[in-house]
Chain A
């Protein structure tokens, strides 16, 4: 019987020197900024900075906005992912490309586009304001909208991949057992793609938490209303560098936690 390739003993490949040097430089490129951040952290006053009202306000707003954005992304993104994975209709690939576009679009451009759609003189903005009295730009709701716009594609593509790779015969089995399509979705499909749902939601949330460009363009930078953590970090860098560093450290810790939480998915079991 043939052994899996990996377990066959083989000579360790020796790397050409230029590769080693360039790879080392590449790794250092990632590591040095992190070391810089850690070295410059004012550890003694860090706790005080964290407890300052500005930081707490930004933190609270960031959590509220990022979790709201994730919730909206789940409600709208999961049906979208299901549609892309299971249905074929004309224009499907075009529509799919458009919904994934925010992943590669410069966030500032996304913010401008949102302004043109939901701004006071935008495509829908005027109508929303006169009919429902809803004003989105420069409000917390606007910050949530901007984060959702940028972060939802991560959820959509992750869940879509999960739906595509699942064994759809489980759905067949459920149907022959008398389950309606709705029951199949809730009791079989979604539980089976749970890992993808979780991974997609976490990715989406992390992206929303870090959102800067679209938020500042569409929602502005009002402390307590639209000034989320990344915005606070950027502004604090000029007025209170220590606060900026501490805030950065908090965001770094969150990112690390996400990475560790999803390590089985990305880092493999190597």
Chain B
């Protein structure tokens, strides 16, 4: 079972253009900032947003292809979609909510209710069947929404920000729960989130989406070690530069240059971890190949470290100890010398 999708769709002025392949048993997380088009992508796969071009196939069956004039309506796609705020029907009991899809697909009422009861058992809510959705906690509503969808045994499971409606304090617990329920599911799983922790914790593979385009995809380790966008770099907390390399010297797109050991020729990304950025009051002597002057524009205490945002050519973020800040007498607006060792710069092809 696999999902292969090339989705082109417009929502007003916004244009979504995404290529995606997910294998059975794989859990892929689409990660991106708000407004990146994550929900639109799920709606397109579920048939709620028509494609302007592209093709969606699931297990070799074409669900949508505008060129061939194929468009399987939502209600006939073997797809389960768990909405961000769950959208449990407020006028039905919890049990009737879970039975809804079974009834809609033609199962007799009594059988559907029985099956729904089994699913409520399975998600650990055997006693909540007669309650109204409004009286459920966020975590319970999430499990009902999951049961309602899993009861239909979909070939593709889509989850839209499954944790967004939960309290931060209960998220960790429910993430573990959700992962357990997702592990027992055999179909294709696609999760959408703007929370990097959630994405890293749940997914086998990440797809980074921004402004309707895929910027990067790969395992969580791969993506965090080789960020290819400002968005991912910020998430991971590293400095990301883009530039053109030639003979160990990278001319940066945003101004300035960096010297890196063994930089390949061509367009590259360069990642500098803030911990490897050193600061001096006076121009340092010695071996560092990259030395330039900058101005501290912001100091933030984070845990036992101070993150110093520096304006210069290039601008960079340094992470130093509070003791070092004291010794340097560093404050906002002060000029300092910045140095980065050539060996601390991680360079890879853009």
Contact = CB atoms under 8 A, between A and B. Distances in A.
Interface of A: 167, 169-170, 172-180, 183, 187-188, 191-192, 194
Contact of A177 (B73, B90, B91, B100): B100
B148 interface: yes
A169 B101 contact: no
Interface in B10-52: 43, 46-48
B299 interface: no
A185 to B, nearest CB: 12
Contact of A176 (B74, B90, B92): B74
Determine the interface band of chain B, counting residues with CB < 8 A from chain A.
20 to 34
A23 to B, nearest CB: 41
B58 interface: no
Interface in B95-132: 100-101, 104-105
Contacts of A192: 89-91
Given A176-B79, A178-B101, A187-B100, A170 B48 contact: no
Given A169-B83, A179-B75, A180-B75, A174 B104 contact: yes
18 contacts: A167-B87, A170-B89, A174-B100, A175-B47, A175-B73, A176-B46, A176-B48, A176-B74, A176-B77, A176-B79, A176-B81, A177-B100, A177-B101, A178-B76, A183-B104, A188-B89, A191-B89, A192-B89
A94 to B, nearest CB: 26
Contacts of B48: 172, 175-176
Given A188-B89, A192-B91, A175 B75 contact: yes
B149 interface: yes
What DSSP secondary structure best describes chain A's contact surface? helix
Given A178-B75, A179-B75, A173 B104 contact: no
Interface string B172-201: 000000000000000000000000000000
A-B pairs, 6 with minimum CB distance: A177-B101, A179-B104, A175-B74, A191-B91, A173-B87, A178-B104
Given A177-B101, A177-B104, A183-B104, A194 B149 contact: no
B104 A180 contact: yes
A174 B105 CA distance: 11
B80 interface: yes
Given A169-B83, A175-B48, 5 more contacts: A173-B87, A174-B100, A174-B104, A176-B74, A187-B100
B145 to A, nearest CB: 9
Contacts of B148: 177
B80 A179 contact: no
Contacts of B90: 192
A178 B105 contact: yes
A172 B42 CA distance: 12
A62 B54 CA distance: 61
B152 interface: yes
Contacts of B83: 169, 172-173
A188 to B, nearest CB: 6
Contacts of A180: 75, 104
Contacts of A175: 47-48, 73-75
